[in-house]
A = this chain, B = another copy of it.
Amino acid sequence: MSSDPTDAPTPAPPSATARNGPAVSREEFDALFAAVRTWGRWAPADRGAWNRVSADHVRRATALVRSGTVVALARPWDTAPGPDNSKPALHYLSDLGDVEPPEPSTHKDFIGTDYHGKGVSHLDALSHIAYRGQLYDGGTARELVGAGGARFGDVSALGPLVTKGVLLDLPAVLGTSWLEPGQAVRAADVAAAEEALGVEIGEGDAVLLRVGRFRRRRELGAWDLDASSAGLHVEAVPLLAERGIALLGGDGDSDVRPSPVEGLHSPVHALAVAAMGVPLLDNLDLETLSATAAGTGRYEFLLVVAPLDIPGGTGSPVNPVAVF
């Protein structure tokens, strides 16, 4: 979600307006927001759509495991600034065997990160986003989130998630290396991907959308995703809401940009987090997952997401794990 003032937004290519899907007025967006809203449905509300994941879902998800192949989805901790990393992560060695006395000698390090943005694989808790001043379930953001942290919707309230993961591998479906920045993924694309990949998104599932960001980054270099990124058009969200997903994530941050919604930089964030109570996973590296899915022909798997337990935290860096 970070768009730093320093980011020099790459001018969107001329065709971007078309590619990012139909323009949506603020009024239309608000109707969409109301339509997918699940406020008042769960207790505790902090867990939002993760309340959908029953013990039965957990059992069925673990039963998906066939080959025992384990795939990690985090990209490496990135300490180098760049167009998609305006807040480089910190990593300092604090003991090189010369601070605490041996034996044994110990090596230690300090890590630090302002992880929201485009650089760190992370989970957005429900306190991360407010729309029109309200957090998920209707609380007033200004009263519920302060310098001491979030008093509603913190990442501690979420805990870990164990569920079925579904990979919507758009480049695989389309036979391309990646989706170009600015390319919208629409409801029809989601439905087509389900069919092509032989999966069906169901209640409590985690949907991971691959647009091929890191393949493109490796081949062409980094760019400013706040200016131009492939992702979901809001028009695709009702389908996901109907299916009752628990988690949405991807190799971008789920939103197509430029945003097709008037005056809203991150409309899918607003819908997923604030209306539906669906946490988001941003900046996953899905290249190995894609290859593994292609190799096995299976685009569903056991997914485990284990955020750090940070009371008051608006999210957490994570390394989600898929097991085939």
A: which residues have CB within 8 A of B? 1-7, 54-59, 62-63, 65-70, 72, 74-77, 79-82, 86-88, 90-117, 121, 127-133, 141-142, 145-150, 156, 159-160, 162, 263-266, 269-270, 273-274, 302, 304, 306-321, 323
Contact = CB atoms under 8 A, between A and B. Distances in A.
B106 A111 contact: no
A130 B4 contact: no
Contacts of A6: 80-82, 100-101
Given A88-B88, A92-B94, A309 B104 contact: no
25 contacts: A1-B99, A2-B80, A2-B108, A55-B67, A58-B69, A62-B62, A80-B86, A81-B88, A94-B147, A96-B147, A97-B130, A97-B145, A98-B147, A101-B265, A103-B263, A104-B130, A104-B131, A106-B129, A107-B129, A109-B116, A110-B113, A111-B112, A111-B310, A147-B147, A162-B321
A109 B3 contact: no
Contacts of A321: 160, 162, 304, 306
Nearest to A160: B321
Of residues A100, A147, A316, which shows the largest number of chain B Cβ atoms within 10 Å of its Cβ? A147
A87 B251 CA distance: 25
A116 B108 contact: yes
A178 B238 CA distance: 51
A56 B86 CA distance: 42
Say how many copies of this protein the assembly contains. Answer: 4
Contacts of A319: 160, 306-309
A264 B156 CA distance: 34
B156 A70 contact: no
A273 to B, nearest CB: 8
Contact of A96 (B62, B65, B146, B311): B146
A200 to B, nearest CB: 21
A91 B313 contact: yes
B92 A86 contact: no
A270 B103 CA distance: 8
Given A87-B88, A105-B131, 4 more contacts: A81-B88, A97-B145, A107-B130, A307-B319
Nearest to A307: B319
A223 B59 CA distance: 40
Contacts of A110: 90, 92, 112-114
A133 B103 CA distance: 9
Closest 4 CB pairs of A and B: A55-B68, A112-B112, A58-B68, A92-B92
Nearest to A150: B107
Nearest to A98: B146
Nearest to A305: B306
Contacts of A141: 97, 105, 107
Contacts of A132: 103
A309 to B, nearest CB: 5
A8 to B, nearest CB: 10
A129 B96 CA distance: 10
A113 B111 CA distance: 6
A76 to B, nearest CB: 5
